[in-house]
Amino acid sequence: MKNNKKIGFALSLMMLIGTVVGIGIFFKNISVGKAVDYNGLSWLITWIIGGIISICVALCFSEIGSMTNKNFSGISNWIHRLKPGATSYGISLTYALFYFGLLFTILGSFGSEIFFYFLSVMGAINFNDIKIWAHLLLGALISIYFLSLVILSQRASGIFQLVVTVLKFIPLFSVMIIGLVLANTHNLNDGSQPLNAFLNGSFTLKGVIVALPAVLFSYDAFLIVGSFGNKIKNSKKRLPIIVVVGMVSITALYTLIALSSILHNAKTVEGILLDSLPKSLGTVIEKIIYTLLLISTLGVINGITFAYKNEMEIILSNKLVFGSKSILKKMSLRKAIFLYCTLTFLFYFVILFGLSLSFNTDSFLDLFSNYPTVFFFAVYLYIIILYAKKRKNIIDTKKINNILFYVVTVISFIGITTIEIAYFITIFSNAISGVAKNNYGVFYNSSKLLFPGWFEVIIYFLFLSFTFSIPVLNYYLEKFIFKRDLIKRIKQLY
């Protein structure tokens, strides 16, 4: 079947690049700028440090990713090889059901907002006429469409990713070149603001630390390629190369676009072009940017869906999900994947639909999308530490230089630890300040909802508790109803 055909190097690389290079450069660059008060030096150093950390993490996983696949793939395989048992069971399950399940649900609604905003920019509709329920329902259709596509044909999904990656990478590359070449052209400047952001304020170390999570969140999806490592031709050799080549390319692009923003004192990608090119092109530029944003978003949704399907396939084929052994006796694996993916989607969708409709806001979508990234960066670090401790005894990985490996491991440890602490301090400082605010949302802004200072702390711990409860609840349901011990089951797969 087409669904079982393996994909080559080019499609795998495009899947990685097309998923990472998405809406992050459009929105996270603004978050970074705000955190450093738009001081150019702080802004640039943040992206450079974030890029270095990301490349170091990628280098670590370029070696870890060469571990032989058997019953698992990607993170599920690596943690299973390093810590088989309760730990590998818990991480494999939460990676599929929480990380990908939640992001898959949310990204469809983001896609809907961007689609309607694109139509508004083109003059077809008035964006403000579209209600929040319409965004959520269209988002659900977008999510299910891409899920159906990848289940019917992984190769078709890969080709789609190749096309959208080319369509968005060339314009983004052009924006970078235009911004750098025309660094001394400032068509938007009226003298009230500095010509470039290097003249804004002074360097802020605190701002850099606070901004780092936003940068790392922009790179988060780079390990997505590991989720379908068993679908890649000659994955043991190619997967490490795909990770390194992809991340170096993305890091260079993001950092140079950030530099272009700084040189033009522009908060957005659109601002770079508006400041560099004649004012008469303003309307055309706006249409180009939102076409690019729509294409980028579809690429992200497709890539996340591709990985979601494969992670669900892993835990279902190994019969690690509640009821999966019984279900697989009644239907094919493909149908079971669609069933479990859809049920997981519906669980999150009902909650998000209720909250969003009740408060008439997309803020919950944006806020909740942070937690999979926050929690799983800690998982990435845990895997790196476990591997570093056992590295000498693992003989089936393709080793990089010893000194290089341990240097990048230390940098990864410092970087990810700093990010986790910075995020935690940020939400706690908001709680202490007691100031009600809301920095979340994409385009939909009908609601004036403000979150109390303590709200994010409560939500953080609720999500943390929920994440840990998923494997526990799944384990005891399976044990009490079907009399199966899933911890013993996963140890048998080692």
pLDDT tens-digit readout, 143-157? 999 999 999 988 888
Decide if pLDDT at 351 tops 50: yes
Q: Which of 428, 434, 80 is nearest to 230 (CA)?
A: 80
Q: Return the higher-pLDDT residue of 237 and 342.
A: 342
290-322: pLDDT as tens digits: 888 898 889 889 989 998 999 999 999 999 999
Of 142, 145, 108, 112, nearest in space to 130 by CA: 112
In the structure, what pLDDT confidence band is assigned to residue 58 with cuts at 50, 70 and 90? Answer: confident
Residue of 242 and 133 predicted with greater confidence: 133
360 sits in the region (left: phi over 0; alpha: psi -120 to 50; else beta) called: left
Say if residue 2's pLDDT is above 50. no
Question: Pick the residue with more confidence: 34 or 223?
Answer: 34
| Residue 380 Rama label (left phi>0; alpha psi -120 to 50; beta) | alpha
> Whose CA is closest to 79, among 66, 68, 89?
89
pLDDT at 245: 84
* Mean pLDDT along residues 397-404: 87
Residues 226 and 103: their CA atoms lie apart, in Å, by 17
Confidence (pLDDT) at 366: 85
Q: Which of 11-15, 86-90, 403-407, 430-434 has the weakest average pLDDT?
A: 11-15
For residue range 456-485, list pLDDT tens digits in order.
899 999 999 999 999 999 999 999 999 999
- Per-residue pLDDT, 225: 60
Domains of the chain: residue spans and CATH? 2-492 (1.20.1740.10)
- Does residue 361 carry a pLDDT above 70? yes
Is residue 57 very low, low, confident or very high in pLDDT (cuts 50, 70, 90)? Answer: confident
Give the pair of three-digit tokens for residue 259: 């530099």
Q: pLDDT-derived band of residue 331, with 50, 70 and 90 as boundaries?
A: very high
- At residue 472, the pLDDT reads 97
Q: Give the pTM.
A: 0.88
Token pair listed for 442: 């994409």
Least confident segment among 22-31, 218-227, 379-388: 218-227
The residue that leads in pLDDT, 307 or 240, is: 307
Query: What is the per-residue pLDDT for 101?
Result: 97
* Short-list 231, 172, 184, 188, CA closest to 29: 172
The arithmetic mean of pLDDT across residues 88-97, rounded, is: 96
How confident is residue 339, by pLDDT bands cut at 50, 70 and 90? Answer: very high
Give residue-wise pLDDT tens across range 200-229: 888 888 888 888 877 877 777 666 665 555
CA–CA separation, 135 vs 361, rounded Å? 11
190, pLDDT greater than 70: yes
Report whether 174 contacts 294 (CB < 8 A).
no
- Give residue 471's pLDDT: 97
Tell me the range of 71-75, 92-96, 302-306, 438-442 where mean pLDDT is highest: 92-96
Distance CA 243, CA 256 (A): 20
Which amino acid makes up residue 57? V
- pLDDT of 4 strictly over 60: no
Q: Is the pLDDT of residue 87 over 80?
A: yes
- Maximum Cα interatomic distance, the chain, rounded to a whole number of Å: 73
Mean pLDDT of the chain: 87
Q: How far apart are CA 452 and CA 455, in angstroms?
A: 5
Average pLDDT of the residues in 7-30: 72
Residue 229: predicted pLDDT: 58
Is residue 440 predicted with pLDDT exceeding 80? no
Cβ pair 229, 15 in contact under 8 A: no
